[in-house]
Amino acid sequence: MLKQVSTLRLLFAVGVLGAVVGTSTALHLTESTHSVSRQRVSSMDLPPHSACGQNQTPMGYIAYLKPGQTPASLSAEGLSVTPLTALAQTPPTVLVGPPVVETTGSSAPALVGPAPSGAAAYGLVYPQASEPSLRSCDYQLADSTADAAYVSGAEAVLLSNGLVTQKQLETDPIFFVSDDPLDPSLYIVTVKVLGASMVAPPNTPPGVTILSTLSYAALVLRSSSVAVAFGRAPW
Q: Within its chain, how far is the Cα of 200 from the centroid?
A: 24
169 Rama class: left (phi>0) / alpha (psi -120 to 50) / beta: alpha
pLDDT at residue 47, as a whole number: 36
DSSP letter, residue 200: P
- Burial label for 218, CB within 10 Å (0-12, 13-18, 19+), is buried
Could you tell me if 39 and 207 are in contact, meaning their C-beta atoms sit under 8 angstroms apart? no
How, if at all, do strands 119-125 and 208-221 pair?
unpaired
Q: Which residues of 161-181 are buried (b: 16+ CB within 10 A; e: fewer)?
A: eebbeeebbebbbbbbbbbbb
> Residue 49's pLDDT is what?
40
Sequence-ordered list of residues with C-beta below 8 angstroms from that of 39, at least 6 positions apart, any chain: 7, 8
**166: three-class secondary structure by DSSP:** helix
Helix (H) or strand (E) segment spanning residue 64: strand 60-65
Residues in the chain where the model's pLDDT stays below 50: 1-50
How confident is the model at residue 111, as a pLDDT?
A: 63
141, 147 in Cβ contact below 8 A? yes
pLDDT at 51: 63
| pLDDT score recorded for residue 143 | 85
Q: How far apart are CA 85 and CA 62, in angstroms?
A: 14
The residues with which 231 forms a beta bridge, in sequence order, are 217
Cβ proximity of 129 and 178 under 8 Å = yes
Phi-psi label, residue 107: left if phi above 0, alpha if psi -120 to 50, beta otherwise: beta
Q: Which residues pair with residue 121 across a beta bridge?
A: 64
CA distance 62 to 82: 10
Kind and range of the H or E run holding 148? helix 148-160
Element (H, E) at 75: helix 71-75
Interval 148-199: pLDDT, tens: 999 999 999 999 999 999 999 999 899 999 999 999 999 999 999 999 988 8
The pLDDT value recorded for residue 162 is 97
